Amino acid sequence: MSTGRAVGLRAARVAMWAVLPGEVALAVCLVAGVRIPGAVLLVAEALVVGVLALEAYVMWPLYTARRRAGETRREAALSAVRAVVPVAVRRLVVHELRALHSLGLWVVRRRHRIPAGARPFSYTEPQTAIMWVFVFVSVVETVVLALVIPWPLVHAILLVVDVYGIVIVLALQAACVTRPHLVEADGSLRLRYGALFDLRAPAAVIAAARVERRFPGGGLVRVDEDGTLDLAVGSQTTVTVELTEPVEFVRPLGRRGSARTLRFHADDPRAAVTALTKDAKDAKNTENTENTEDRTAPSPLTPERTAPAALTPERTAPSSTPGPPG
């Protein structure tokens, strides 16, 4: 990539970070029915048009280069977007859209993509009470601010922000409810936290599982230097799974990592451990049975032996009766 293109790419990213919050604030005001002066709208739209033009200027060469490399239009467009839009922005937008989709699933009492034969294990118990308290406090705050703040503009902005915040909190909880941990039919483990985290561990790499309650520090996802992953809910984990080899995962904001020991929370940890160990034993028994059958397979057939014919007693001709002496 040439120096000019590299500078343009960095400028496009900086412009997106700078203009996006302002555009969101302007949209909130418009949705709230706030009257925006014409000059402010004109300047804001001019900035948006300028950013879009800069994005198109930077993305078009990337798009054409990917097309010449043999990619389809969709693949080339996605490659250009990945090059221009920061990973954190893309993932935050995707997380938010998935959370809102989960809110719809929660309303109709459905779960997100649970394969046939998979056993789901919920993990929301430690945070459910906190989430509902937070929603209650947000509603009270919205009502109090509506009664206290006398300025219509500030009141309208805070009303939209508070209502949207309540919806997002409910959507995050709904994402956790509709996306439980899974022990699939083949014995593999899928760890999830709403739409923010998703890790798969094949059955072949699961060595052991046990109930173990721990209270790790740090945030949602934490990895120690020895390759231990803590996926805590309510600052606690209840299940520890040891692997024979590391598995890869992606953090909520796009950073990649690997772990050889998995610690996570399940509301019923004993059932989760039983499912994991049962599937491991079944897989091991199946493998041993197959090996035994291979070892005890019948040997190649040997030529059939014919039994010797039964000996019959030798027959002798009866001797003639001697005649009388002459």
- pLDDT 10s per residue in the chain (326 long)? 556 556 666 666 666 656 666 655 655 555 445 555 656 656 666 776 676 676 677 778 888 888 888 888 888 888 887 777 777 777 888 888 899 999 999 999 999 989 999 999 999 999 999 899 988 988 888 888 888 888 777 777 778 878 888 898 899 999 999 999 999 999 999 999 999 999 999 999 999 999 999 998 878 899 998 999 999 998 999 999 999 999 999 998 888 999 999 999 999 999 999 999 885 555 555 555 555 555 544 444 444 444 444 434 444 444 444 444 44
Query: Rounded to an integer, what distance in angstroms lies between the CA atom of residue 112 and that of residue 123?
Result: 15
Helix (H) or strand (E) holding 46: helix 38-68
* Contact (CB, 8 A) for 174 and 132: no
Query: Distance between the two ends of the chain, CA-based, in angstroms?
Result: 140
* Structure confidence at residue 218 (pLDDT): 77
Estimate to the nearest angstrom the gap between the alpha carbon of 67 and the chain centroid. Answer: 30
Strands (E) in the chain, as ranges, are 119-121, 181-183, 189-193, 197-201, 206-214, 221-223, 228-231, 237-250, 256-264
Q: Which residue has the tokens 């997002």?
A: 168
pLDDT at 267: 96
- pLDDT (0 to 100) of residue 290: 53
Q: What angle separates helix 125-148 from helix 152-178, to the nearest 10 degrees?
A: 170
Non-local CB neighbours of 57 within 8 Å, separated by 6+ positions: 8
Phi, then psi, of 52 in degrees rounded to 5: -60, -40
- Half-sphere exposure for 198 (CA within 13 Å, toward CB): 11
CA distance 156 to 83: 37
pLDDT of residue 138: 85
Do 143 and 71 form a contact (C-beta atoms < 8 A)? no
Q: What is the pLDDT of residue 231?
A: 95
pTM of the predicted structure, to 2 decimals: 0.69
| Per-residue pLDDT at 273 | 96
